[in-house]
Structure formats: C-alpha cells, structure tokens
Chains A and B, each alone.
Chain A
C-alpha cells in the first residue's frame, strides 16, 4: 500500500467539541484540502475518553458534514394540508424571505400574546451549541416560563424526575458514581459509565479504571445489554418496579440491619424536621423556618439555628410544639418503610429474594459507615457505595418515587457527594484563573439547595399551583415539570379549557426537534401541533418537519460551527464530573457551512432584531454571563453576530488567557477537591421527606375542584403526592392482561443519540453489525414458546391499537416478560434516506392519555403493555 501525499496542499488538525450527543467531548478534526476527513479526541484534554479517545458515534460525526441530504436553502411548505404521509411540497426560498415570514408572524403574535409562541430545544444541542440560550431567548419575546417549551431529542422520556431530584439533592442535572473511590455501584436503568448519560466518555473512562481496580457493579435492568452486559452482575427486573427493590433495601438498612449514617441523617437531610399530624412541617411563626428538636437542650429550634449542633438534631421521639403533637419526619418515614419487605419486592419486581438480600448486605457492608478518607489533606466521610439511576427507571408514571427510592439508600448511609458515593455534576463552577464566570449554589428555603444554573425550570423553590394556565404546558398547575408533558397529552383541549388557557399556540420556533415521533403516540402529536406555524432549524427535513413543518431553515452542523460558548454554562450538565480538572471546550469551524446554512444562534439574533427584541436578548446575555465590564457588555442598539459576542464575552470569562484558549479551542484548570465533595461544606439539607408534595397536592386539588376538572375520570393519581417514597404500580403494568401480556420498553443504544444518528452511514452500517440495535429483542425461551425465532417479522400492538413492526432477535439476557426496542428507529422522512426504515419506533406505542404521565414530574410512562404476533 502506498501512502500518497501528492496533490495534498493542506493537512491539518482543528480542535473543537464533538456534537453528536449532548456530552460534548473534546474533539479534533483532520482537515485535508479543506475537507474534514477524520475525528479524534484530544490527547491533552481530560474531557472525554482516555487520551485521544472518542466513542464510535463521535468519530462518525464526520458524516454530518458530508451528508448530501443536508438542506441547503430555506424550504417553505406549499401544501396547506398537514399530516404523516402528506407531501409538504417544499419550495426553496431565499433567507431574507424566510426571516421576513418568521418575524412578521412573530410580531403579530407578540402584539396579542407572546405565550402563543412555542420554542423547542433538544438535547442534541447541549454540546452542539449554546444550550441554555433558547430558554432566555424565549423570555426576550415575553414568554413567561418553561411551559412554552416542547422537547425533541431524548424527549419527555428523559429526565423530568431525575433532573428534579438531581437539582433538589445535588444541585445538578444528573448524577454518577464517584468512580475513582467507589467500591460498590448499583445502576438502575442507567448506563452511566457504559456509554450513555452525561459526560458519557469521561464516565466511561473513569468506570473502566474502576472496573480494572475491581469494583463490583450490579445493574438492575430489564435487559443485560449495555450496562447489564458489562456489569459484575446483571439483575433482570421488570420496568418500573425499581422502587419496590429500592424501598426494600431502604427498609433493610433502616429497620432490619439498622445501620445508618446517623450524623448524616441529622445534619444533611430534612429527617429531623418536625411535622404535624397532617405531615406538613411545623414552622417557626416568625421566621417561617421548619424546626428541629435539639435533644441536648431539650427545645425546638429553627433548622438553621446557629446554636443547633448537628449531632443534637433529634431523629426520633414525639414532642409538643405549640400545643400540637409533633415528631421528626424520620419517625413516620421509618415506620412507612416497614411494609416494604424483601419478599414483597421480589414478587413485584421478579428479582429473586436472595439477590435482593445479597445486594442489601453488600450495600451496607461496602458503605463503611463511620470511615473517613483523607484527600489532598482534607478528611471526608468515606462511603464507597453509589446507587444511580437515569432515563430507564425514572421514565414511568411513578417516576418521582422511582428516583426517590433509588436515592434513599444512598441517603441512609450518607453516600451523597462524599468520596466513593454518588456525585452530582459539579454544583459549583469556579472561574478560570484570572477570568470571571463563576457560579455557586446557595441554600434556599427550608435549607434546600438552589442550583446556581439550571435548565428550563428551577427545581427550588417550588411555586404554588395557580390559575389560569398561561401556556401550553400548563406549568402553572404542574409545577415540577422540567419540561411539561401537557403538550403531548391527548386530553390537551379539555385541560386547556378547564384551566383557562388562553394562549393557544400559533407558532413553533424550533431547533431540529423531532417531537412528533420521539415522544408518544404520533397521531396525538400531529393533532396537538399541526395548527401551529412550525419553523424549524435543522440539518435535514426530519419526520416532524415533513408531517407538520411549514418553514425549515438550514442549520450548520457542529463541524461548521463557530460556537465559543459551547460548554461554559454546561458545567452542571456535561462539565467535568467527579474529581476531574475543569474543562471547557469550544466549537471551532473545521469547514465552511454547507450551502446557505447558518448557525442557529445567528438566526436567533437576526429574528430577534427583526422583531425588535434584540436589546432584551442581549441584556439577558450580559446578565447570564455576568459581564460587568461595560467595554465587554453588549450595548443597546448593537447588532453583533454570535462570534462577535464571543470575542467580548470570552475576554470576560478567561481574562488575559483568552487568546491562548481561543487558539487552543479549550481550557482546563484545576478543580479544588472541596468543589467535588461539597456535601459537608455547604449548609444544605436534602429534602428526602418530600414535604412540598403535600402543598402541591392541596394546591392542585383546590384548582381541580374550583375548575370542575374531572381528575377521577382522567385517572389522575393524587396519591403520588406523598412525602414518603412509596410504591405505585406504573400504568403500563395495570394494562397487562392475558392478551396484552408483555411490557415493551426502550433503551439507549451506545451508537445512537435520539434519531439523528440513524442518518449517519457509518453508524448505520455498524448498527447492522449489532445484534440488537435495529431489531426487537425477545428472551430466547419466551420466543421459542411463542414459536418466534431470529429474523421473524413481528407486529407489536398496544391496547390503543397502535402497531409497529420489526425483526426479532432473541437474547438470553432479557426478562421473559418484556420486549426491548433501541432508540428512536422506524423513521420515514424522505429527507433522511439512510435513516429511513431502520429499526423500529418505540415512541409511537406509548399512549398519550394523561394517566400515563407521572402526576408530579410529568414523566411519560415509557413502558407499554403490548401483544406481539407474526407478520
């Protein structure tokens, strides 16, 4: 083989940030004669995998630049009829005309009610552009809160309960084990460290080292594939039943073994808070603070009273306060757990009793309660056990309790944000030495952490449910939704009518979200959104665009993008987890934009300018980055491109090193150990006893009563508004019967991010080499019993009559009562020919009735009762 270099006039590497999933790993791109030809990681940056490591889909990202199916000019629908299977009859138009159409429409709507404009974001954008900006961009138009956001990407399947509790407990978007020091990890429907989740490759690297070190990793999952397939032990479990096992473990720790980190419970949770009979806190009438019984002084004090020592906070006992009988909330909590026996949990979850018992024992044994570790000269409690969850277990109608139960076992042994335990992504972001952007969390009302930055919806403090609903998502009523589920709910018209929602959406201004096919039942999504004027910016015409899009604008891919801000704000989301030095990477263009494609931030700015709200947006930007230097601030009347804004803001963020960092494309700096293990240094308490839910319930019940909302008819489950993590059957299980006898679930494949990756030919050909990626998995024995074998075409049908077909692949490592489908396949957009027809679509099977959503957090029930039969 000859290695010919004649005819090559340029061969260079450009540092940038990967944009194929939301993790944003360090990436460098080889550019030959102006053409990007290879993507690798960056050896000198710890962001992402080992050395120059990058995962398969990251390296395949190259194809986003080369895809001839990319749209190159704005496309306008000429066929007024919308729907799946209807040809939109696109017409290419000029940018100026497109922007004119958008701004004219927006201005008209704004005069009436800006809340009639919806915005989308999708998780792909996290690393693939400024992440948080769509939220305050919307605010510049006068949109009030997160109820106007509809989500593509990981869609509603992902995160609402996880992010809510991640925020309330860790001040962070997500959690991961402290791989460096942990010894025993439980994963529940999560693939952290095995290719998915936030900072996926950084975690994968840390996990690989931990596994080599000999940690034990037990994975509870319906299938032993990505996480389970790599675990020390895979435990097959029915979807949505993790709570049962979690509560049984908590009961074991609390009531059977009785070994807890008592000091932690006293100091770092709300367990000592005194409650009344009705379960709500007793509050100091003057300060409105919850109170604690000081067992040394024998009197009741504010939780934050300076004279109250941690060890003196009473966890047990019954007291009198203001003539009322009160107890620390730990008392009923502990009592409540007693009902959750291991035998019961085994029956619910199908996990054998012996397995649960072993996990219980291993958990407490490995927790090393009372032990300490000294790191960088500081001594910390050492709790080398970690229990983490993500999309899999939380994506159920009982999602909030799933996450709470899984977190509970860590709380009981004090393994939160201490070495070896469960860590949030950093709650604190230190400024670059000599620079300025610094974010620190604070202790808020009732001692609960208030994250420094959070996406879309702050988890704390919680606002009270109120009328009328002011946006499509009705977050005035559903106050805990990170992103609201209501836009996808079938009964949306009824809900809007009852809650007086006047801002009926007229327009969507979106970023390549594929929300029609990626949430639940497609028909409901089309019905709920088709009357809007849908503008989307994207690389291709996707399924949503084809079904309901009106105007599609060509966006640049991450390889053509000049985005200085990629991860400055994403520290709590995709920054350096654990005790990894800080890293922030920016996206530098490695090639010229394809066709007339334009970076969406510049389109944002252009549209804001045309609509007369640019100054407002710019002011929000100044504020968001905390730019105090008047020279660097964007001034009223200024119209700058995103790159020009970056030239100023980066000077604020990085100070004198700006040029060096811009040239290098990334910055790394030391993260002090106290910013990693902050639990005992920041005076906050975990609201393990979810008292706020009682108030939410009261508020919502009041509203329902006032409006005559038929909660019973819609099977809205108020019982889940309980402060005690409890067992509730997920809706999918309730639908099981002799005919619909299997639970379908979906999972994240390491090769895929939502559905954009289906259009990547590298990933496509590799997906075909994976047994499970494009197929429907069935347990081998179960398949044999049903006379099904590898390669058979089967139909999956739900009680609602929705059908999807796919190819059978049997696997041993899957519970016999479930069927598995990876990612968001089953695509049909003409604009993405590689993706077309690949895999099966799981999302469409999910029913869209209100009862299938977590009443608290708005998670979708992501398992569904189905029957299967041969084609």
Chain B
C-alpha cells in the first residue's frame, strides 16, 4: 500500500490533490494549484492551444499558406480562447478583462488576442493579405501570443520557478516548433513533398533549439534560487517523475530525436511526420504540465 493511501493518512489528511499536508502549507515550498489542478487544467490546455495555434499561423505566413492561417487562427481562438473562457469563474464577464492592460498581463493578452483575431481575419479574407506590413504586424502579434502564457507566469514574483530568463525563449521556440510540425503534416497530407522535405531542415533546427531551451530552462531554474531547485526536484520526484520520464524525456525529446534522425537530410515520410507531431504534441503538453505543476511558493517562515 502506498504511503499516501494508508487509511490513517486518508482519515487525517484527506488528499486535496496538493500533495501537501495541511501543516506544511507555506511552511515548506508549497505548490501552486489554481492554474493546474481541478479546473486549472483548462488553463494548461488553453495556453497550449493558443500558443500552438499562433505558432502555426506564424509559420504558415512564411509559406503564405492560407489553410495553415485558418487552422492556426481557429485553434488559437476557438480551442485556446474558448477553453480560456471556460476556465473563468464568470465567463459572461470575460469582457471585463480588457480593463487593466497597464498592470495586468492577462488584460494585455486579451487586447493582443483581440487584435490577432481581427487582423488575422482580415489577412485571411483579404486577397493580398500576405503583404509585408500585414506579415510583420501579424508575426509580432503571433510571437506575443505564443509567449503570452509563459509571460503571464513569468511575471508572478511569488513563483520563482517561473521567473527564469529562459522561460520566454523556451515558450516561443515551443510554440513555433509545434506549429511548424503541424504545418509540415498539413503539407504532407496535401502532397507537397518538396515542401515537406524542405521544411525538415527547419524541423531539425527547431527541434534542437527546443531541446536546448528546455535544458537551459531546467538549468536556469535550478540555479535561480532554492525555490527553483525545489521545483526541479519536484519534477523528478514522486508523482511527477513518471510524467517527466515518459512525457518530457520520452515524448518531447527522445522519440522526436529518433524520428528526426530517421528523416535526417530531408528523407521525409508522412507517417513519421505524423508520429513525430503526435509525440511532440503530447511531449510539449507534458513539459507545460510539469512546469505548471511544479511551481512552488516560497515558504513564509524564515527558518534559517
């Protein structure tokens, strides 16, 4: 019988999913729960979909590929946006979130999403949509949206694990990487073999950039402060260990690496591309999950 399932523990400290005994709350590093546990899981999905949607949109612009734009736009707004709204306690009041762009990262995000929605729609319906001005504006908006979730997390002083300098580079690379892979698969399905093969160079670059950012993120967090260390420890211990091993190491790194090596030099294969996308899709979700799940607050008692 595992420790936490023991009848005594169940009676005295009913599990609330926090993994923290009530008497350890804010005495030991205490996990944030609002943005990952219970309905908080919506936020994890919302951030992911918004960002990969924007990523897909972003990459599609380079190929002037409207289907990619449309899909990216839809994923970002409808999957990402709606899940965001579903997460809110009072969704009908969501409009109020535009009120504080000067201080609130969330509020700024709403403005950016709004601009992305409107301008993106214009770009999609306008025949000469891919002009340089449009592209530059949309690219900037996309990059802001891709990094929005992590920026929101990054500015929270109370959670030092998200304060690492590597948060932003990592989030941008991750959004673009997944977006690029969706696009590659779309091309693979629509039969543009040359395009698919040509994209593989970028896939290799993005994969290694992603890998590098991930390592730097971990390294940076570990060295940022002791709270960061507590987060990293949490990632490799206890219940998160399996997700870290299978999700992060396996799906986000090892499998994509193998698939990338298989297709090295442009030997692309639609099925392998699909497998790689599925793998990084799940892998990136796992990465985001453990990053959100392992963020801990600094204890309030000075015990040294």
Contacts and interface: CB of A to CB of B under 8 A. Distances in A.
Interface of A: 765, 768-771, 774, 790-793, 805-807, 809, 836-839, 871
12 contacts: A768-B22, A769-B22, A769-B25, A770-B23, A791-B21, A793-B3, A806-B8, A807-B12, A836-B11, A837-B11, A837-B12, A838-B12
A409 B13 CA distance: 45
Contacts of A791: 3-4, 9, 21
B22 A792 contact: no
B12 A768 contact: yes
Interface of B: 3-4, 6-9, 11-13, 21-25, 27
A149 B11 CA distance: 35
Nearest to A764: B12
Contacts of B9: 791, 793, 807
A793 B1 CA distance: 11
A780 to B, nearest CB: 13
A776 to B, nearest CB: 11
Contacts of B4: 791
A805 B9 CA distance: 11
Contacts of B13: 768
Given A792-B3, A793-B3, A774 B25 contact: no
Given A769-B22, A769-B23, A769-B25, A871 B11 contact: no
Given A791-B3, A792-B3, A793-B3, A771 B8 contact: no
Contacts of A839: 12
A793 B6 contact: yes
A768 B23 contact: yes
A346 B24 CA distance: 36
Contacts of B23: 768-771, 809
Contacts of A805: 8
B12 to A, nearest CB: 5
Nearest to B23: A771
B19 to A, nearest CB: 11
Contacts of A771: 23-24, 27
The 4 nearest A-B residue pairs measured at CB: A837-B11, A771-B23, A768-B22, A769-B22
Contacts of A837: 7-8, 11-12
B22 A838 contact: no
A868 to B, nearest CB: 15
Nearest to B25: A769
A809 B13 CA distance: 13
A838 B11 contact: yes
B189 to A, nearest CB: 51
B258 to A, nearest CB: 39
A793 B27 CA distance: 21
Contacts of B21: 768, 790-791
Contacts of B6: 793, 871
Contacts of A792: 3
Contacts of B25: 769
A752 to B, nearest CB: 14
B200 to A, nearest CB: 50
A769 B22 CA distance: 5
Contacts of A806: 8
Nearest to A836: B11
Nearest to B7: A837
Contacts of A793: 3, 6, 8-9
B3, B12, B13, B22: most-surrounded residue (chain A CB, <10 A): B12
A769 B24 CA distance: 8
Nearest to A807: B8
A456 B93 CA distance: 68
A320 to B, nearest CB: 68
A849 to B, nearest CB: 29
B3 to A, nearest CB: 6
A774 B3 contact: no
B31 to A, nearest CB: 16
A838 B10 CA distance: 10
Contacts of A770: 23
Nearest to B11: A837
Given A805-B8, A837-B12, A839-B12, 12 more contacts: A768-B12, A769-B25, A770-B23, A771-B24, A791-B3, A791-B21, A792-B3, A793-B9, A806-B8, A807-B12, A837-B7, A838-B12
A838 B13 CA distance: 9
A765 to B, nearest CB: 8
Nearest to B28: A790
Nearest to A792: B3
Contacts of A809: 23
A486 to B, nearest CB: 35
Nearest to A772: B23
A774 B9 CA distance: 10
Contacts of B27: 771
Contacts of A765: 22
A433 B147 CA distance: 79
Contacts of B8: 793, 805-807, 837
A805 B12 CA distance: 13
Contacts of A768: 12-13, 21-23
Contacts of A871: 6
Contacts of B3: 791-793
A586 to B, nearest CB: 38
B158 to A, nearest CB: 21
A805 B4 CA distance: 15
Nearest to B9: A807
A790 B25 CA distance: 14
Nearest to A838: B12
A162 B21 CA distance: 38
Nearest to B10: A837
B162 to A, nearest CB: 27
A774 B12 CA distance: 7
Nearest to A809: B23
A318 to B, nearest CB: 61
A170 B39 CA distance: 63
A790 B21 CA distance: 10
B29 to A, nearest CB: 14
Nearest to A770: B23
Contacts of A774: 12
Contacts of B22: 765, 768-769
A838 B4 CA distance: 16
A541 to B, nearest CB: 19
A805 B7 CA distance: 11
Contacts of B11: 836-838
Nearest to A871: B6
Contacts of B12: 768, 774, 807, 837-839
